[in-house]
Amino acid sequence: MPHPELATAGLRPFFERFQSSNGASDVERLATMYAGTVMIAGPTGAQVVSAADLQRAMAERRQLLASVGHQHTALIGFEETSLTDRYALVRAHFRWQFQTANAEPTTITLPSTFIVDRGGDSPSIVLYMNEQDVVSALRERRAAFTKGIS
């Protein structure tokens, strides 16, 4: 059965904390929002990842995003669908803002899909799927912009 707070508020507050932890570069707190083992899926395939490996990957991703000028990420869209009493499907849209000295400010909005386990003391993400890698999307956007002005 879902945690009592989830029955009234749903998962939006959980994802607002997720976005806040992501924006604050709080890798440890962000990692606790995932199950001990999680499936990560994207354009290149899917893999099951342990919590320890996920935390290491998050730290590396944080460095990569900083290197391309990541400034801010905001949760701008949220849709929750109950799959069972225990699991929910969440479609979230995040707006990513980037700025470097060498490039125009860039904003990218990307959807992500999550399956969240609502059965424990607190929700936990058991599946995270991104439709497009944010760094690849940024590079494509910047390449298109550069091509358009040449």
* pLDDT tens, position by position, 75-91: 999 999 999 999 999 99
Band the pLDDT of 22: cuts 50, 70, 90: confident
Please state the rounded mean pLDDT for residues 34-59. 92
Instruction: Judge whether 114 and 143 are in contact, CB under 8 Å.
Output: no
List, for residues 134-144, the tens digit of each pLDDT value. Answer: 777 777 776 65
Asked whether the predicted pLDDT for residue 5 surpasses 80, the reply is: no
**Residue 150: what pLDDT?**
46
Here the CATH number for the domain that contains residue 12 is: 3.10.450.50
Task: Return all residues near 62 (Cβ < 8 A) that are at least 6 apart.
Answer: 25, 27
Domain ranges, residue 15: 4-149
Residue pointed to by tokens 């932890």: 21
27-42 pLDDT per residue, tens: 888 889 999 999 999 9
Contact 127, 114 (CB under 8 A): yes
Residue 26 CA to residue 61 CA, distance in Å, equals 12
Between 26 and 145, the more confident residue is 26
**Number of separate domains in the chain:** 1
147 vs 104, higher pLDDT: 104
Q: Is the pLDDT of residue 128 over 50?
A: yes
Q: Record the pTM.
A: 0.83
* Sequence-separated (6 or more) residues with CB below 8 Å from residue 101: none
